[in-house]
């Protein structure tokens, strides 16, 4: 019987052929590798006492947040460097992997992007916002054909709230000759249900826009792979009825 300590210190070269991720991929295809094995291949090598498979396990099972593949975007450079066997090069590889995955998801969502569809908009910006640890407010500026002129981050708040000034929003909108705008922001908790502050901010911005002729088309809140559209849920209709 192999002593557990010896198993922990074995290297990729000492492993049986069917357990070595490079060879397993070559023989059976990448689709047959586990998440840990796929990440181990990208890490390439481990260090003394920590082979690439064990390093991959540590990354996919962090002491914080989500586990599995969803944990990868949550790591920061500083956190990765604290893992034994993860240096600057491997940290950059992991951060680039997370960014590549985000861009792939966004590129796929862009194929059906329609700024008249809350679902389409939410899917396109989901990977930009769902992993943020603080609330970020995005402003989308649209022309007369409801096509995107420009997008920008207009506010970054605390872990629970974002601060945004209607004046700042409409200065940008007027400078870009936008005729309508859409707001998006994330809830780090993962629950996209609007807070009282979200509803109040939306009401203020919508009323200010009406005065200068720039319509707020929607305010979409991004959660963990889910969203809440205030227009879709009838908030704008209720506001109009109460006037």
**pLDDT band per the 50, 70, 90 thresholds, residue 179:** very high
Domain count within the chain: 2
Helical (H) or strand (E) element with 105: helix 88-110
**pLDDT band per the 50, 70, 90 thresholds, residue 9:** very low
Q: What domain range includes position 96? A: 4-105
Are residues 96 and 169 both part of a single domain?
A: no
Asked if 162 and 135 touch (Cβ cutoff 8 Å), the reply is yes
Last residue of a domain, one of 105, 122, 144: 105
Report DSSP letters for 167-213, one per residue: HHHHHHHHHTT-SEEEEEEE-TTS--PPPHHHHHHHHHHHHHHHHHT
Give the β-pairing of 180-186 and 215-222: parallel
Are residues 126 and 95 both part of a single domain?
A: no
Are residues 225 and 187 both part of a single domain?
A: yes
C-beta neighbour count of 64 within 10 angstroms = 9
Are residues 121 and 218 both part of a single domain?
A: yes
Are residues 33 and 138 both part of a single domain?
A: no
Are residues 186 and 67 both part of a single domain?
A: no
Q: How far are the Cα atoms of 5, 17, 60, 101 from residue 40, in angstroms, in the given order?
A: 20, 15, 11, 17
Tally the C-alpha atoms within 13 A of residue 33's C-alpha that lie toward its C-beta. 21
C-beta neighbour count of 238 within 10 angstroms = 10
Are residues 206 and 130 both part of a single domain?
A: yes
CATH number of residue 162's parent domain: 3.40.140.10
23 versus 183: the higher-pLDDT residue is 183
pLDDT per residue as tens digits for the range 103-141: 998 888 888 789 999 999 999 999 999 988 899 999 999
Are residues 176 and 191 both part of a single domain?
A: yes
Helical (H) or strand (E) element with 148: strand 148-156
Are residues 182 and 198 both part of a single domain?
A: yes
Are residues 164 and 204 both part of a single domain?
A: yes
Are residues 141 and 237 both part of a single domain?
A: yes
Give me the helix-helix angle, 88-110 and 35-43, nearest 10°: 120
Are residues 177 and 210 both part of a single domain?
A: yes
Last residue of a domain, one of 105, 129, 160: 105
Helical (H) or strand (E) element with 222: strand 215-222
Last residue of a domain, one of 51, 86, 105: 105
pLDDT per residue as tens digits for the range 53-97: 889 999 999 887 778 888 898 899 999 999 988 999 999 999 999
Structure tokens at 44: 């390439």
**pLDDT band per the 50, 70, 90 thresholds, residue 17:** very low
């Amino acid at each position: 019987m192999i002593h557990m300590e010896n198993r922990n210190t074995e290297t990729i070269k000492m492993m049986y052929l069917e357990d070595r991720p490079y060879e397993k991929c070559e023989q059976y295809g990448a689709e047959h590798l586990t998440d840990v094995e796929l990440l181990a291949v990208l890490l390439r090598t481990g260090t003394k006492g920590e082979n690439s498979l064990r390093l991959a396990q540590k990354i996919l099972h962090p002491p914080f947040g989500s586990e599995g593949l969803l944990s990868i975007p949550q790591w920061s450079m500083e956190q990765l460097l604290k893992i034994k066997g993860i240096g600057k090069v491997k940290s950059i590889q992991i951060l680039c992997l997370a960014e590549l995955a985000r861009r792939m998801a966004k590129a796929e969502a862009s194929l059906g992007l329609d700024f008249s569809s809350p679902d389409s908009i939410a899917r396109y910006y989901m990977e930009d916002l769902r992993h943020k640890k603080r609330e970020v407010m995005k402003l989308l500026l649209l022309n007369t054909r409801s096509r995107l002129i420009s997008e920008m981050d207009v506010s970054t708040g605390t872990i629970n709230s974002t601060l945004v000034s209607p004046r700042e929003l409409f200065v940008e909108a007027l400078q870009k000759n936008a005729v309508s705008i859409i707001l998006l922001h994330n809830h780090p908790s993962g629950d996209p249900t609007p807070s009282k502050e979200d509803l109040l901010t939306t009401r203020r911005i919508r009323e200010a826009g009406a005065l200068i002729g720039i319509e707020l088309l929607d305010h979409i809140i991004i959660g963990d792979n889910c969203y809440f559209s205030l227009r879709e849920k009838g908030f704008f209709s209720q506001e109009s009825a109460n006037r």
